[in-house]
């Protein structure tokens, strides 16, 4: 009889432990999602600004490549770059 009572009480404690751990897990996941959503919402202006800056830099790089009428020729001496700007007319000669 004593073993039966011990088995039932142990089983009840295990069931209660699993139940409370599941509730705790749901609470932690919910709190994490709320915090993530809050930071996602608060940083939307920063992400928009970063996206616009990346597009501006990309278009500026494309414009610079298309407009570049000079070629930089040079040599490296002991880690220092010595460059000379050469126009396209000088290259064609």
69, two tokens? 């009428």
Average pLDDT for 70-92: 62
2, two tokens? 């004593």
pLDDT, tens only, 51-79:
999 888 877 766 655 555 555 565 666 66
pLDDT, tens only, 9-27:
999 999 999 999 999 999 9
Q: Which spans in the chain are helix H? A: 2-42, 44-67, 88-92
d(CA 15, CA 13): 5
- 83: confidence class by pLDDT, cuts 50, 70, 90: low
Q: Which residues have CB under 8 Å from 7's CB, separation 6+? A: none
Residue located via tokens 């009480």:
9
pTM across the whole model: 0.48
Domain boundaries, the chain: 2-67
């Amino acid at each position: 009889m004593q073993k039966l009572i011990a088995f039932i009480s142990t089983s009840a404690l295990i069931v209660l432990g699993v139940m409370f751990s599941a509730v705790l897990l749901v609470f932690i996941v919910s709190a994490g999602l709320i915090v993530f959503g809050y930071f996602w919402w608060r940083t939307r202006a920063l992400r928009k600004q970063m996206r616009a800056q990346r597009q501006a830099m990309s278009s500026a790089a494309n414009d610079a490549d298309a407009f570049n009428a000079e070629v930089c020729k040079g040599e490296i001496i002991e880690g220092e770059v010595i460059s000379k700007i050469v126009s396209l007319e000088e290259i064609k000669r």
